[in-house]
Structure 1
């Protein structure tokens, strides 16, 4: 029998929570009763999200951090544990995408993509795992359909998300005998700030872009948030080392 998503008495840390998918995850986990540490680099939007969540009668800590900095990742976990005394779920949702011809992408954009999309989940997980082991907790990494198909002008993004999927699986194997669950979700394109801010190279061939836009349109943000919340909660008890594609068929063939 399927379990309901129930997080009363539990604490979740959600990155990228100022807007888009991260904020939707925070809303869904608040509905499930979790206390929240929401993390983002955008202070104004993060505080607005925290104010909105407070009305749902849950405890919320807004922690501003630039997750491209490894010390900021460990600091976010410490802030959550210091405030709430425990940690039950880490949802690594924060991400960025920079579109470019592979030969033209500036080094700083490549390194930032890897830092936010791949290194940050690693450092956050390193810091969180000792606390999650105490509470039979969970890590949920937000990958992308781009982890499974090549996407023109998004080589760095594809590489970072493919790395995150295999990071998820490798860590799941390492902790297969421990009381922790480690999974990933791979959404297709969603109507988020990241999508709205995408800018293609001036000479982009949109016949190539159409190959990864899908036939069924964009994925609903709330649908992805529901899967992430399920995996973060005891309802996801049977999932470990999985990556659930929520992409309206983009990777089907």
Structure 2
């Protein structure tokens, strides 16, 4: 067995995974369970959480789940408290839950803008705020899922880009704050994936599709499984050399 497979062993560790009802969150939960990790799953989709829990059963890990609206800071703190009640420890926080509304900027409803910021940026902050004291005890990790939209402007996605640029900045700022502490805080920036977000893609009215195509990527969609592998790497001791990093996995979208 190679060194990297030894360090990817998460046996006896516990992680919180948000957005776990489908897509990248579900795949990350499966990958963490394969590595031996116990899991606290969070989403607004109760049926999806039940499906993920069922899929995890063959791995024999301890699993708990919680329906929570992460736009509420109180709910974010509650998630961490409930995970600690379940496991008595926390080794990784995987901030995967996210959403996107495409809109012509002058017509974007205030409620959509605010929810984008609340779920994509504020929730990772408040979850981290609650989790960091416990993660410090375990030399643990925070992994934020940003986006290729963290580095380039994307038409009709001003709110989404703002939330994801902010998430990368927050990741780096927190990493600097805890530079002298035994914790790792990193982010992953994937390109487009086949997830519920992509499936429910709705272009704004009267949009210019030439502008949208600029961000589709010449090599197609990124595999969800590949992104999940990277999240697990950063969550595990194998990612010990990463701190304050944002790793792009976007099939070259942001290369130039």
Whether TM exceeds 0.5 here: the answer is yes
TM-score range, shorter chain: over 0.9
> What is aligned with 1:241?
244
Report Cα offsets for 1:19-45 as digits up to 9, x if no partner: 000000000000000000010010111
Deviation at 1:55, TM superposition (A): 2.0
How far apart are the structure 1 equivalents of 2:59 and 2:142?
24
Aligned to 1:70: 73
SS in 2 for 1:55: helix
- Greater Cα offset, 84-93 or 204-213: 204-213
Does the residue aligned with 2:81 lie in a helix, a strand or coil? helix
Gaps of 5+ in 1: none
Residue 159 (structure 2) aligns with = 156
Question: Any idea what SS the aligned residue of 1:169 has?
Answer: helix
How far the C-alpha of 1:163 sits from its partner, in A, is 0.1
Tell me the equivalent position of 1:173.
Answer: 176
Q: CA deviation at 1:125?
A: 0.1
Question: For 1:32, which of 18, 28, 35 is the aligned residue?
Answer: 35
Deviations 1:181-240 (A, max 9, x none): 000000000000011111111211011111111100000000000000000000000000
- 1:250 maps to which residue? 253
> Structure 2: how far apart are the matches of 1:37 and 1:14?
6
Tell me which of 144, 166, 183 is aligned to 1:141: 144
SS for the counterpart of 1:116 is: helix
Q: What is the root-mean-square deviation of aligned Cα atoms in Å?
A: 0.8
Aligned-partner Cα distance in 2 for 1:200–1:128: 36
Determine if the alignment matches structure 1 residue 208 to structure 2 residue 196: no
Report the equivalent of 1:104: 107
How far off is 1:2 after superposition? 5.3
Alignment-derived partner of residue 224 in structure 1: 227
Which of 188, 193, 207 in structure 2 is aligned with 1:190?
193
What is the number of residues matched between the two proteins? 253
